[in-house]
Amino acid sequence: MNRLKKKHSWMAVFFGLCLLLLLPNASYAKQPESSYWFPDQLLNWSPENDPDAEFNRSQIPLAKREVLYGVNDHAQSKAKLVALSALNSNTSGVPSQGGKEFFANTFSYWQYVDLMVYWAGSSGEGIIVPPSADVIDASHKNGVPILGNVFFPPTVYGGKYEWVDQMLSQREDGSFPAADKLLEVASYYGFDGWFINQETEGGDPEAAQKAKEFLVYLQKQKPEDMQIMWYDSMTEDGKISWQNHLTDKNDSFLQDGETRVSDSMFLNFWWRDQESSFNKAQDLGRNPYDLYTGIDVEAKGTSTSIPWQGIFPEGKAPFTSLGIYRPDWAFKTAATMEEFYQKENEFWIGNSGNPSNTMDNGAWKGMAHYFNAKTAIHELPFVTHFNTGSGKFFSVDGKVVNKQSWNNRSLQDILPTWRWLKEGGQNVNVEFDWETAYYGGSSLKLSGAIDPKNPTHLKLYKTNLPIQKDTEISMTYKTAANNPNLKLGVSFIDNPDQFIFFNVKKHSKNQWMTETFKLKKYSGKKIAAISLLAESDTEIKDYEMNIGEIKVFNKKTKQIGNSPKQGKVSDITFYKGIYADVSLAWDPSVSDDVSHYEIYRRLPNNEKEFVGATPNHVYFLSAMKRIEKESQTVLEIVTVNKEYTRSEPVEVTFEWPPYPKPEADFRADKTIAAPGEPVQFSNASSEVTEEFEWHFEGGTPAVSNEENPVVTYAEEGVYSVSLIAKNSEGESVLTREAWITISESANEIKNVALNKTAIASGQCAPSEGPSFAVDGKVTDNSKWCALGQAPHWLKLDLGVQYAISKFMVRHAQAGGEPQAFNTQGFRIEVSLDGENWTEAVRITDNTEGVSEHSISLTNARFVRLWIDKPTQGSDQAARIFEFEVYGYPNP
């Protein structure tokens, strides 16, 4: 079975939230999400009717790239490399402008990628998926075009041929409305084209011809620099049959006579030698490097066995380009950021960790063995903070301005071209450091030992930077040593291997220091590389140095950026009187010198807190929490230019509603207990509650002011519970009559749903039927799954009548699936006869993988679970790994 089919129905999520914001409950946050559609939704889409559209736009143009020179004799630049990567692990629930998790897929080996495909799409969420804005920004900054994905799934994965028909529908004039929409989306969001993967069975020769006409229409209508890539799946008879080579059965989807049908083709994985594809492409008059021979690394990563000679024959030019399916293996199989970056390095560079020396890497030599690194660094100013695009905190000019973890790939720097190219002494280690940062969340760390006879030369960046009379280079660094023992090196295009060095001398222990060097004497030259040289006259065994910034700039052009104009709150929604979703907007700067904008919150003590940054001119603050009882909040928007000089801020103010009274609510870990057995009560009142007053009929204690008291009951009986929630604005009382039952029968309580008869509104597959929700297993993917539009239902016949006290629902996360697939909204009903139902539980804001729901003792034989909102996003598939009903027989 073709591996491109796999994983679409359950790809792991990266369900982030707006950058650096405290979030009380994900259900409150209405932060913008990246787009995903089915064909009918795409046809009805427009920026005007999509409130999230403006947040999903990339503002970073595609940079140009150059090879310039190589460092590996085996690498070449004729064949290209495309990566089909799940840069966000899920289709739905992807925040438009970064998230709150530090551990995120901050892919950084752009220098070896010629084309990126944003791999996403599933039958439960949407099959047409543009890249998220932060990924477009990172890709463009590195000069890599990025494509959205159109995925028609096989029917076994929920594919429907009607989706193909909808995409291929034509107007009377022969134009294709869906093709027009694809081009509109790409133009509006700012990405570079589409990868089209048609794997839904049911086609015929007429459908294949129409698909080709669709592709030709795209060719004629698209901008010249937009790309359409076709996947080797459908053949000319309309059937799904992977050819794995360019053949007579699939070649017309690339080129049909004189007609260019698609810009490139991704060839499936089952091949041994691609010489025939090379010859076939030439016969068609097409560049063989428009063909991308696929390798599937999703499961085994660097342990995948690849017949490399079939693409890169020894002593010859490559037969085709290379297509890599799911290099996000490195992230998916890592538990920490350090492990992720280590696996990335092994994947792209090989186990030597040196891109200039790959011959001894073994079977997996790394992409640096086959491809020259390219650079997009050719204009001044060039600034790097070695910021990987996520962090455990956020620093500005060496000061931590927010302690919350974050990710935002829009802020990722162009990271070092070579990782790591060390010459001379090998005992100086180099790595990204997420514990220290000058700007963002990381810096470059050197550590280890310096050999006085063999200094360590670390080549970092390939560049093509012009030097003028006022050009300078600076470095910001921090060390605990008495001497930096470091030099900053540059080489020039006319001799990239010959370096000149500037001696770094300033020193103040554990303080960020900046040293600047003039390049006037090299005016007219171009910088080919930037490096560091760690050397000492004596042996140093415990060397440690952090590099926070390297900057190349023209001193005379340095200026403060223009302040944003017309800053405003374009929309605001309040929750419970203490949370606000705030949409900020300002006029985009007409200057091309803008790097991004920073947003700060002025605290009641007049200090400032960093809350986010974006290159866009809109920003969404999700679930901003009111500080104490403040009546208004002041936000500041600051322009950051490309030298990282900041403008004067623009202030935006909004007023909070009156401070609310509390709303009382509570829960208990059980509603039936034996005499003397402790019952744990939990406050669930609104957050503004300041005081608690509990009353327990028949309990000990009878009254409590604790937030979460433990109570025992000496005598059998049925008892009421009250809670008074208080604050300065008033109070709220909640009483639940006859809520706690004290009985020796509590010892008989068990899961009475186990292996009972279950039916459901539907199922994803025979192996995911309703019986799997009551089999007592949450491993081996044992679950009930249902596709289609919600609501879905699962009904249990317990066989006899039981006294029921609690339900436990094990959602997607309990079975190892993403948190974003946890059921958000559901109801539980009970019935004695299966006809007349009473609602026992209603939940609208669940985020947990396992949810427990105690109720007052209720008699029932039948139980029904309704799934109203199946996931945290828009995926409509229900996923219940186990539905447990606790009670005892009550004939």
Task: Give the model confidence (pLDDT) of 119-149 as tens digits.
Answer: 999 988 899 999 999 999 999 999 999 999 9
HSE-CB at 800 with a 13 A cutoff on CA atoms is 8
HSE-CB at 744 with a 13 A cutoff on CA atoms is 0
Of the listed ranges 390-399, 411-420, 459-468, 550-559, the one predicted with least confidence = 550-559
CA-based nearest residue to 374, from 529, 137, 142, 84 = 142
For residues 461 and 476, what is the distance between their CA atoms, to the nearest angstrom? Answer: 16
Confidence (pLDDT) at 561? 74
Using DSSP's 3-state secondary structure scheme, residue 877 falls into coil
Order of all β-strands in the sheet with 495-504: 421-424, 456-466, 526-534, 486-492, 495-504
CB 721 within 8 Å of CB 739: yes
HSE-CB at 133 with a 13 A cutoff on CA atoms is 28
Residue 701: which residues within 8 A CB-CB, separation 6 or more?
Answer: 709, 711
Q: List, as one string, the DSSP characters of 379-420.
A: SS-EEE----SEESSEEETTEEEE-S-EE-GGGPPPPPSSTT
- Dig out the tokens for 677 from the structure: 């057995």
Confidence (pLDDT) at 30? 67
Can you tell me the mean pLDDT for 554-574? 88
What is the CB neighbour count within 10 angstroms for residue 104? Answer: 26
CB 875 within 8 Å of CB 158: no
Using DSSP's 3-state secondary structure scheme, residue 802 falls into strand
CA-based nearest residue to 291, from 255, 239, 237, 249 = 255
Residues facing residue 390 across a β-bridge: 407
Confidence (pLDDT) at 556? 81
* pLDDT per residue as tens digits for the range 238-247: 999 999 999 9
Q: Is 410 exposed, middle or buried (0-12, 13-18, 19+ CB in 10 A)?
A: buried
Q: DSSP H helical segments within 586-636, as ranges?
A: none
Apex CA 157: angle with CA 156 and CA 163, to 5°? 100
Confidence (pLDDT) at 558? 64
Confidence (pLDDT) at 227? 98
Convert 651-701 into a string of H (helix), E (strand) and C (coil).
EEEEECCCCCCCCCCEEECCCEECCCCCEEEEECCCCCCCEEEEEECCEEC
Q: Is 737 exposed, middle or buried (0-12, 13-18, 19+ CB in 10 A)?
A: exposed
Name the residue type at position 68.
Answer: L
Strand pairing category for 321-325 and 81-85: parallel
Q: Buried b / exposed e across 520-534, counting CB within 10 Å, b at 16+?
A: eebeebebbbbbbbb
Confidence (pLDDT) at 820? 84
Of the listed ranges 177-191, 192-206, 586-600, 725-739, the one predicted with least confidence = 586-600
Confidence of residue 446 (pLDDT cuts 50, 70, 90): very high
- Dig out the tokens for 760 from the structure: 């459901």
DSSP 440: B
CA-based nearest residue to 446, from 412, 486, 415 = 486
567 has pLDDT over 80: yes
CA 192, distance to chain mean position in Å, is 20
Whole-angstrom CA distances from 70 to 75, 355, 370, 418, 462 are 7, 10, 11, 11, 9
CA-based nearest residue to 879, from 728, 727, 773, 738 = 773
The percent of residues in the chain predicted with pLDDT above 90, rounded, is 90
Confidence (pLDDT) at 506? 83
Radius of gyration, CA atoms only, the chain: 30
- Dig out the tokens for 393 from the structure: 């905190």
What is the CB neighbour count within 10 angstroms for residue 256? Answer: 17
Confidence (pLDDT) at 57? 98
5 versus 363: the higher-pLDDT residue is 363
HSE-CB at 651 with a 13 A cutoff on CA atoms is 7
Of the listed ranges 443-452, 521-530, 771-780, the one predicted with least confidence = 771-780
Confidence (pLDDT) at 18? 30
HSE-CB at 23 with a 13 A cutoff on CA atoms is 23
Name the residue type at position 363.
Answer: A
For residues 312 and 236, what is the distance between their CA atoms, to the nearest angstrom? Answer: 29
For residues 253 and 260, what is the distance between their CA atoms, to the nearest angstrom? Answer: 9
- Dig out the tokens for 569 from the structure: 């709150």
Quick one: which H or E segment has residue 276?
A: helix 275-283
Strand extents, DSSP E, 232-276: 255-256, 259-260, 264-267
8 has pLDDT over 50: no
- The answer to whether the bond into 588 is cis (omega within 30° of 0) is no
Can you tell me the mean pLDDT for 624-653? 96
Quick one: which H or E segment has residue 613?
A: strand 608-614
Whole-angstrom CA distances from 563 to 489, 560, 602, 606, 649 are 35, 9, 17, 21, 6
CA-based nearest residue to 739, from 686, 666, 802 = 666
Confidence (pLDDT) at 680? 97
* pLDDT per residue as tens digits for the range 772-806: 999 999 988 899 999 888 999 999 999 999 999 99
Residues facing residue 842 across a β-bridge: 827
For residues 189 and 192, what is the distance between their CA atoms, to the nearest angstrom? Answer: 9
3 has pLDDT over 80: no
Q: DSSP H helical segments within 712-837, as ranges?
A: none
- Max Cα–Cα distance, the chain, nearest Å: 97
The percent of residues in the chain predicted with pLDDT above 70, rounded, is 96
For residues 456 and 383, what is the distance between their CA atoms, to the nearest angstrom? Answer: 23
Can you tell me the mean pLDDT for 841-860? 95
Quick one: which H or E segment has residue 602?
A: strand 594-602
Query: Average per-residue pLDDT in the chain?
Result: 94
Can you tell me the mean pLDDT for 359-372? 97
Residue 634: which residues within 8 A CB-CB, separation 6 or more?
Answer: 601, 602, 651, 652, 653
For residues 846 and 823, what is the distance between their CA atoms, to the nearest angstrom? Answer: 7
Confidence (pLDDT) at 4? 41
pTM of this structure? 0.90
Q: List, as one string, the DSSP characters of 770-787.
A: GGGGSSS--STT--EEE-
The label of the residue with tokens 């974006």 reads: 614
CA-based nearest residue to 506, from 462, 545, 449 = 545
Can you tell me the mean pLDDT for 7-30? 34
Strand extents, DSSP E, 226-320: 227-231, 255-256, 259-260, 264-267, 291-296
Name the residue type at position 393.
Answer: F
Angle between helix axes 177-189 and 205-221 (nearest 10 degrees) is 40
336 has pLDDT over 50: yes
* pLDDT per residue as tens digits for the range 272-320: 999 999 999 999 999 999 999 999 999 999 999 999 999 999 999 999 9
Residue 843: which residues within 8 A CB-CB, separation 6 or more?
Answer: 825, 826, 827, 851, 853
CA-based nearest residue to 624, from 673, 574, 564 = 574
For residues 416 and 796, what is the distance between their CA atoms, to the nearest angstrom? Answer: 58
First CA to last CA distance, the chain: 53
Strand pairing category for 666-668 and 679-683: antiparallel
Using DSSP's 3-state secondary structure scheme, residue 553 falls into strand
Whole-angstrom CA distances from 745 to 581, 710, 716, 808, 887 are 48, 21, 10, 20, 9
Strand pairing category for 618-625 and 850-869: unpaired
Residue 599: which residues within 8 A CB-CB, separation 6 or more?
Answer: 584, 610, 611, 612, 613, 614, 619, 621, 635, 636, 637, 638
87 has pLDDT over 70: yes
